[in-house]
């Protein structure tokens, strides 16, 4: 794959997929991120929110945040994801 010239207005193409350790992953995911996910070890106090898209996941995140913060709501979305 050739690199576009500087100032040509073309973005470099991202491959549809890439093979990493015998697994085919999307080209939008970095190899480091993929390997980091495989090395993840959950702790006993980890909580996973698993739902279909548009099924209230954000709402559940806020409820859990309020429970852990003893009823105090988040002031912004940034605060929700940074704490």
Q: What is the value of pTM for the model shown?
A: 0.47
Q: Cα-Cα-Cα-Cα dihedral of 59, 65, 68, 74, to 10°? A: -130
For 60-80, what is each residue's pLDDT tens digit? 888 888 888 888 877 877 777
| Contact between residue 60 and residue 47 where contact means Cβ atoms under 8 Å apart | no
For 41-61, what is each residue's pLDDT tens digit? 999 998 898 888 888 888 888
Contact residues for 62 (Cβ-Cβ < 8 A; gap 6+): 73, 74, 80
């Amino acid at each position: 794959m050739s690199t576009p010239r500087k100032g040509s207005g073309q973005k470099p193409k991202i491959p549809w997929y890439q093979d990493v350790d015998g697994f085919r992953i999307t080209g939008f995911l970095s190899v480091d991120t993929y390997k980091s996910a495989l090395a993840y070890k959950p702790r006993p106090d980890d909580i996973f929110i698993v739902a279909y898209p548009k099924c209230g996941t954000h709402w559940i995140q806020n409820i859990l945040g309020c429970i852990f913060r003893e009823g105090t709501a988040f002031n912004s979305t940034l605060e929700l994801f940074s704490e």
